Amino acid sequence: MNPVTEQIELAEPHLAGWLASLGLGVEYVRAAGNRLYYLDADGTEVEVLDLVGGYGSTILGHNNPELVEYAKSLLDAGTPIHAQFSRHPYANELAWQVNAIIRREFDTSEPYSAIFANSGAESIEIALKHAELDRVMRLAEVSAQIERNLVEIQASLGSAADDLVAEVRAANAERVLTAPVFLAPEGSFHGKLVGSVQLTHNPGYRTPFRALAAQCRFVPQDDAEALTKIVAEERKTLLDLEVVDGAARIVERDLPVIAAFVLEPIQGEAGIRELDRAFAARVRAVADELGCPVVIDEVQSGMGRSGAFFASSHLGLQGDYFTLAKSLGGGIAKAGLTLVRSSRYRTDFELVHSSTFAKDSFSTLIASKTVELLEAADGEAYRLAEHRGTQLRAMLEKLRGEFPAVIADVRGRGLMLGLEFADLSGSPDDTIREQAESGLVGYLFSGYLLRAHAVRMFPTASATSTLRLEPSVYLDDADIARLETALRGLIAVLQAHDGKTLLGI
């Protein structure tokens, strides 16, 4: 079978009908804090505890009152939303705020340049594009050095060097066209646009589009040896000449092939998996050896969710680039940001990259206000994320201790947690077994939790027996208790092998 069409068949079934069949086809009409509301058949509002949090976009809750008030004031004041090619002091302000946080969390004095985007995938594509510009410019520097050397050698050796010089030039003319390669850990998710999807490990999303952009090599999780091996396999060279005993001979120089190492400090879509500290250190060392940047994707893990603004700060891994989105827009705007450390920033990038909507005043000012709220009271929001995350985790661990045959694992940090259920493909119940075999069992849990307990949780798309929890920092004791009741209900249904109740039939 054609591997591309085979992968397409793995894609999700027709979405609307499928959501409805699981009881997830609900229209929400109002949102506030950790709540979403829909109307039942009688038109009565039903309150739902939302732990999906806009896939991590609502660290300060849905429709945070201060952010909504601020958004209204911007519109009331007739703030120019679009003023391209003019001064953007508010964009500088956001860059300053984030730079102050980088200085604090990574104990560095090096400033980062900010490039504005509209989404997570776009902030990643900016990082890939900047890294490629950097690689191409490094390659041009090596090529220019070689060319200067060839001219010098020809001048000193005369026609005796002509053949070798011609051979080197011909070989290099081909070698400089070597396509760039990105590196990322297995399980990575960095978006679904044509560039970023190449770094999204799940083959169902990636392989139909592999012809559209530069490729990524995926490194087995936390496997330093595999990383070394992949780097050796990707090594390419340019040819050069050196003169020994008055005669020219061919030597090889490294050609920069690897454009960047891109990683999530806590993998989201792969089922909430924190990167290993030793592996992070190895990535840093390998990237430094290669001279390529480390891009840290904080789109999901950043903005305080882990208990610090940057989840990578817990790993002691300072990125050469950082990407932010999701909660950057405070849950009400679409905003993304790519930060590049000044020693690696290519000012030429500004000439070759722009976006009509990026840096618009509305989303940038909302982002700035969001960062201000996170930083308020000496980082109260980060302490809350850690504290509430610890309480939430303790409850999940308690369930795991009580029901080890149902709950396989609890992972994550702060308010980015994953609850993995044991494999149900051996279930005596046909419905449960079929859904488990098709890899969609987590959505069956979602339908049950919503219908029976008005709790909204979803699996991570590439590890569908893991439910993820990404509530806002305003989660309280009553919410945690309500979630515990809902999960106990789900566990009881699973222990009873009751597929009908899971499906609501």
Name the residue nearer to ligand F0G (CB basis): 36 or 248. Answer: 36
CB of residue 299 to ligand F0G, shortest distance in Å = 4
Task: For the chain, report the end-to-end CA distance as a whole number of angstroms.
Answer: 37
CB of residue 189 to ligand F0G, shortest distance in Å = 5
CA distance 490 to 265: 30
Name the residue nearer to ligand F0G (CB basis): 50 or 240. Answer: 50
CA distance 499 to 505: 9
CB of residue 419 to ligand F0G, shortest distance in Å = 16
Name the residue nearer to ligand F0G (CB basis): 143 or 465. Answer: 465
Name the residue nearer to ligand F0G (CB basis): 164 or 441. Answer: 441
- Residue 257: closest CA among 135, 125, 353: 135
**Number of other CB atoms surrounding residue 175 within 10 Å:** 16
Contacts 24+ apart (CB under 8 A), 65-69: 66/369, 66/373, 67/330, 67/331, 67/332, 67/366, 67/369, 67/370, 67/373, 68/332
E strand or H helix that includes residue 76:
helix 65-76
Q: Scanning the structure block, which residue is given the tokens 């806002």? A: 472
CB of residue 205 to ligand F0G, shortest distance in Å = 10
**Number of other CB atoms surrounding residue 295 within 10 Å:** 29
Residues 442 and 464 sit within 8 Å (Cβ to Cβ): yes
CB of residue 157 to ligand F0G, shortest distance in Å = 53
Residue nearest to ligand F0G (CB): 120
Name the residue nearer to ligand F0G (CB basis): 240 or 360. Answer: 360
CB of residue 467 to ligand F0G, shortest distance in Å = 13
- Phi/psi at 107 (5° precision): 50, 55
Name the residue nearer to ligand F0G (CB basis): 231 or 326. Answer: 326
CA distance 48 to 292: 46
User: Could you tell me the two tokens for 451?
Assistant: 């219908």
Question: DSSP for 209-231?
Answer: GGGGS-EEEEEPTT-HHHHHHHH
CB of residue 334 to ligand F0G, shortest distance in Å = 8
User: Could you tell me the two tokens for 2?
Assistant: 């054609």
CB of residue 458 to ligand F0G, shortest distance in Å = 8
CB of residue 213 to ligand F0G, shortest distance in Å = 15
367: helix, coil or strand? helix
CB of residue 169 to ligand F0G, shortest distance in Å = 42
Name the residue nearer to ligand F0G (CB basis): 191 or 319. Answer: 191
> How far is Cα of residue 264 from the mean position of the Cα atoms in its chain?
5
CB of residue 325 to ligand F0G, shortest distance in Å = 5
Name the residue nearer to ligand F0G (CB basis): 257 or 270. Answer: 270
Name the residue nearer to ligand F0G (CB basis): 172 or 326. Answer: 326
CB of residue 461 to ligand F0G, shortest distance in Å = 6
Name the residue nearer to ligand F0G (CB basis): 115 or 165. Answer: 115
CB of residue 121 to ligand F0G, shortest distance in Å = 3
Name the residue nearer to ligand F0G (CB basis): 231 or 469. Answer: 469
CA distance 450 to 46: 11
Name the residue nearer to ligand F0G (CB basis): 392 or 463. Answer: 463
Q: Scanning the structure block, which residue is given the tokens 């340019």? A: 238
Residues 265 and 311 sit within 8 Å (Cβ to Cβ): yes
Contacts of 221 (CB under 8 A, 6+ apart): 185, 186, 187, 273, 276, 279
CA distance 76 to 500: 52
Binding residues for ligand F0G (CB under 6 A): 55-56, 119-121, 124, 189-191, 264, 268-269, 297, 299-300, 325, 461
CA distances from residue 377 to 221, 373, 477 in whole angstroms, order as listed: 38, 9, 22
Separate counts of helices (H) and strands (E) for the chain:
17, 19
Name the residue nearer to ligand F0G (CB basis): 299 or 303. Answer: 299
Beta bridge partners of 322: 296, 339
**Number of other CB atoms surrounding residue 164 within 10 Å:** 19
